[in-house]
Amino acid sequence: MTIALTPNTRVDDSKPLKIGFTFDSVSSWLALGYTLEQCAEFYDDVMIDAMAASLSNLGTVDKIGGVKALAKRLAESNHDWDLVFNFAEGYGTVGREAQVPALLEAWGIPFTFSDSATMALCLDKAKTKVRLL
């Protein structure tokens, strides 16, 4: 299930949300041995922290990280999020942006933005232009 938070979304102030925040940062990929050029599409820690601070206006924010960090947390049952704000991009495969949504769908955890099928399709520009008869 996806939930889009828009300017018109109303949040019950009496119950702050527990928000998981998935993201890929330059520093996390550099730590894995990737080059700065390979990490060009990711945001730096300053931007990630600013996004987490903004999300904290809606409740508590649990900074998770990318797909591997999410998989570890899910396997350990170390989560109690009301919603995951998915900003993870993944790396290296056509389905990279679909990885986090697919895991969240499998666990039945609500998240923002598109589902895994949409994310995978939209990265393949040729398939998005195929006309069905």
The tens digit of pLDDT for each residue in 20-46 reads 999 999 999 999 999 999 988 899 999
Distance (Å, rounded) from C-alpha 105 to C-alpha 90? Answer: 16
**Full domain range(s) for residue 73:** 17-128
pLDDT tens profile 65-119 = 999 999 999 999 989 999 999 999 988 788 899 999 999 999 999 999 999 999 9
- Residue 132: CB atoms within 10 A of its CB come to 3
8 in a structural domain? no
63 bridge partner residues = 21
Whether residue 3 is contained in a domain is answered as: no
The mean pLDDT of 55-74, rounded to a whole number, is 96
Query: Residue 26's domain is classified under what CATH number?
Result: 3.40.50.20
Q: Are 110 and 82 in contact (CB under 8 A)?
A: yes
Q: Is 76 inside any structural domain?
A: yes
Distance of alpha carbon 95 from alpha carbon 67, whole angstroms:
12
Query: Is residue 5 situated within a structural domain?
Result: no
Q: How many domains does the chain have?
A: 1
Closest C-alpha to 26, from 84, 89, 69: 89
119 within domain boundaries: yes
